[in-house]
Amino acid sequence: MKLSDKTAIVTGAASGIGKATAKQMVSAGARVVAADINAPLLASVVSEMSASGGQVTACVTDVGDSEQIANMVQCATESYGDLHILHNNAFSNVIGSATELAEDDWDRTLDVCLKSLFLGLKHAIPVIERSGGGSVVNTASVHSHVAFRNHAAYDAAKGGVVGLTRSAAVDFAPKVRVNAVLPGAILTGAWKGATEIDKKPFIDRCPMKRLGVPDDIASAVVFLASDAASFITGTTLVVDGGLTIVGDP
């Protein structure tokens, strides 16, 4: 699971799964372009990683914008000369059913959680191919496989991530592998304000009897990005502590 001499882009890198993944990739030897829309938080994270000796470049990016995605990929080539890994991970979600959601909220969720992956592939794949090949890892979700009440936009987006992952895996093999990691209940900023009572049903249902942490997902991403997964493409790796294998009692 070494990433020595590899250049990677991680979106949503200022917090949560993206931050943990960027840190693990740096530890594995990669040069990382950390992308996020939150400029102050991103600067702090990149400063922290750089202080530890990592090769990290910050790139403030709204992943829902094609021009900014193109600039993000250009940032990688200008900083390090090549690109081998893309981790599409940025997050947005507005709670609501199809009748409750505002159209703008639907559009923004789909832009960040699905369209951005298309844009990432569009701009990054040619560069990865010119760099000798590599890997794309998309953050999908257990929402890709099971429905959650009042998550119409997010469930739709994450279902689309799985379809796009498989399509891209076929289109760009053998030079570029494309896989998806499917987190379960992971303690990120999305859980801000949740009480222990809110968490308890997920913990009780989960065979591992805990919520996940960002490093649980980051480890899976680094594996899929590395040569240790060189014969794996088009797959969906569920990392949920067994949450979605449990049937109703």
Q: Specify if 13 maps to a domain.
A: yes
CA distance to 13, 19, 63, 203, 214, per residue, from 24 (Å): 12, 9, 22, 26, 11
pLDDT, tens digit (0-9, with 9 covering 90-100), for 28-38: 999 999 999 99
pLDDT, tens digit (0-9, with 9 covering 90-100), for 171-197: 999 999 999 999 999 998 888 888 899
Q: Which of 80, 154, 172, 202 is catalytic?
A: 154
pLDDT, tens digit (0-9, with 9 covering 90-100), for 120-158: 999 999 999 999 999 999 999 999 989 889 999 999 999
Q: Specify if 2 maps to a domain.
A: no
Q: Specify if 1 maps to a domain.
A: no
Model pLDDT, residue 1: 78
Residue 62 domain boundaries: 7-245
| % pLDDT > 90, the chain | 91
Domain count for the chain: 1
Q: Specify if 147 maps to a domain.
A: yes
Q: Specify if 227 maps to a domain.
A: yes
Is 154 part of the annotated catalytic residue set?
yes
Q: Specify if 59 maps to a domain.
A: yes
| Residue 52 in this model has a pLDDT that exceeds 80 | yes
Residue 163: pLDDT band with limits 50, 70, 90: very high
Q: Specify if 149 maps to a domain.
A: yes
For the record, the structure tokens of 192 come out as 């801000």
| Residue 249 in this model has a pLDDT that exceeds 60 | no
Domain of 105: which CATH number?
3.40.50.720
